[in-house]
Amino acid sequence: MKNKLMLPLLCLAAALHAEVKAIKNFVLIDGTGRAAAPKSAMLVDNGRISWIGPASRLSAPSGAETIDLHGKYVMPGMIGLHVHLGTTQGLTQDAKFFTPENRQRVLDSLEKIRPIAEKHKATFAQLIVNWTVHQPGITAALVGARDAEQAKQNAGAMNLTLSNDELKEIRAAFDETSRVMTH
């Protein structure tokens, strides 16, 4: 069970590599109740949204990758937490990444955060869900469950109060792992 639950954090950390993307021409649904905003754009810098607004005002830095999402809808701040351990590197999912070395790296990272889980009497999944929703720009996490008990357990993630130091410690535990994933 541990193995299935830690890759969300690993994927988030892996997405933080230095690159800028200019994403444009999508319909923005911002989750505030405002009307959907067509012809929107955003800059994503190092895996984080740094600007969002009308596509007509987009000013991408030189060298930024431009992605045209014409006809698509974007809901920034939403993140799905359904991923498979060891099959994802960055944003690419492939069975070639599911290696014994990568599995061990994730297990080693889990051991680094075990004291936090024990202190809060929480599962690894609860830590990761809680950590995820406390990241800048994230407003919700979509978390699946096999049954009602797991759904209840996942919802318990929001009963945790992690300190800023604990949030930083969880990130640090997986930053190095995400950089050295091999295939």
Q: What is the pLDDT of residues 111-162, one digit of tens each?
A: 999 999 999 999 988 998 899 888 877 777 777 777 788 888 888 898 999 9
* Angstrom distance (rounded) from CA 149 to CA 170: 25
Nearest residue to 142 (alpha-carbon basis) of 152, 160, 129: 129
Q: Examine the domain organization and report whether 54 and 103 are in the same domain.
A: no
Condensed to tens digits (0 to 9), the pLDDT of residues 141-155 reads 777 777 788 888 888
- What CATH number corresponds to the domain at position 85? 3.20.20.100
User: Does one domain contain both 90 and 11?
Assistant: yes
Q: Is there a contact between 158 and 120 (Cβ–Cβ < 8 Å)? A: no
Q: What pLDDT shows up at residue 47?
A: 74
12 with 29, same domain: the answer is: no
Question: Running DSSP on this structure, what letter comes out for residue 18?
Answer: S
Q: Are residues 49 and 36 in the same domain?
A: yes
How many domains would you assign to the chain? 2
Domain holding 145, by residue range, is 2-16+80-180
Residue 7 has pLDDT above 50, yes or no: no
Q: Residue 96 has what DSSP assignment?
A: G
pLDDT for 44: 87
Could you tell me the two tokens for 87?
Answer: 């099959």
Name the nearest CA neighbour of 85 among 180, 8, 181.
8
